[in-house]
Amino acid sequence: MKYPKVWFITGSSKGLGLTLTQKLLAEGYRVAATSRSLDALKTAVGTEETDYFLPLQVDLAQEQDVQTAIRSVISKFGHLDVVVNNAGYGQQGTFESLTDQEIRTHFDINVFSIFNVLRHAIPHLRKAGSGHIFNISSIGGFKGGYSGWGSYSATKFAVSGLTEALAAEVNPFGISATVVYPGAFRTNFLTKESLAISPNPISAYTKAQASIDRYLELSGKQQGDPEKAADVLIQAAATSNPPLHLFLGPDAYAAANEKIKSVIHDLEKHKDVTLSTSFKE
């Protein structure tokens, strides 16, 4: 085992990514952190590049940028141990109101950027025969019944699904993968820097509007503590048998249980129909 571990974290200039970066550096880990703005990243973290910290300006939607970033990590630290795909943003708007470009841009950052990172990070982990990948989803990527958040849930369900497939794929090489489902944490997720709102709302969708109003009112009052979430990720990376599914927060726990009960109810209620679709032998 190599010490200290080298972490690669996307979306590190704010939110959970920033908290995790700062906590890891304080505990002596080596951290490569990305942001769209290098100055904003160094200002937020509170330090310039050091022997333990590599700040990187990366457009995650551009594969060449990501490839260059991973090469820089290996060049500076010699290896890579933990990858945290944290970058992403919220998109609120009904299916009618969101444009094709808004949705495609949303998927570029929340989903396809993860594929870009995995494509260039996994070969180093596979060569080492070890490593851990955290993909940050959301409770909205497990329970999707939130009016006005269809695009966001779609991206986060994609993150959850790709992580399950990833875990099965890389397990033979000694690599672990964990999909993280945070509930509402007191970060800047519900601020204009991290939340895009459709500029063309349709007045008929009163439930969707009430949903965004409710969440905006929650900003700064969320019960989730990002410091504690960062601690959980660090602890999970240090275990020999980390979870595939990691829910964070009592609200996430409650929502997940509600979804599971709903699925079991439908599964059992319609069991006869489900089992009726096979060829008769």
| Contact call for residues 178 and 244 (beta carbons, < 8 A) | yes
- Spatial distance between the Cα atoms of 226 and 16, rounded to a whole number of angstroms: 6
CB atoms within 10 A of CB 40: 15
Q: What is the CA radius of gyration of the chain?
A: 20
Residues 6 or more apart whose Cβ sits within 8 Å of residue 125:
80, 81, 83, 131, 133, 170, 173, 175
The owner of tokens 């590049």 is 49
Predicted local confidence at residue 1, as pLDDT: 44
The pair of structure tokens assigned to 121 is 């990070």
Write b or e for each residue in 144-158: b if 16 or more Cβ atoms lie within 10 A of its Cβ, otherwise e. eebebbbbbbbbbbb
Predicted local confidence at residue 226, as pLDDT: 86
- Spatial distance between the Cα atoms of 112 and 154, rounded to a whole number of angstroms: 13
Active-site choice (29, 146, 152, 215): 152
Residues 6 or more apart whose Cβ sits within 8 Å of residue 121:
8, 70, 80, 83, 133
Which parts of the chain have pLDDT scores under 50? 1
What does the angle CA 176 – CA 179 – CA 183 come to, to the nearest 5 degrees?
A: 150
**9, 38, 134, 248, 253 from 233: Cα distances, Å:** 12, 24, 8, 10, 17
> Mind giving me the DSSP string for 66-98?
HHHHHHHHHHHHS---EEEE----EEE--TTTS
Give the CATH number of domain 6-276: 3.40.50.720
Write b or e for each residue in 205-214: b if 16 or more Cβ atoms lie within 10 A of its Cβ, otherwise e. beebbebbee
Predicted local confidence at residue 257, as pLDDT: 97
Closest listed residue to residue 133, CA positions, set 123, 142, 143: 123
Q: 152 catalytic, yes or no?
A: yes
DSSP 279: P
Q: Where are the domains of the chain?
A: 6-276
Predicted local confidence at residue 126, as pLDDT: 98
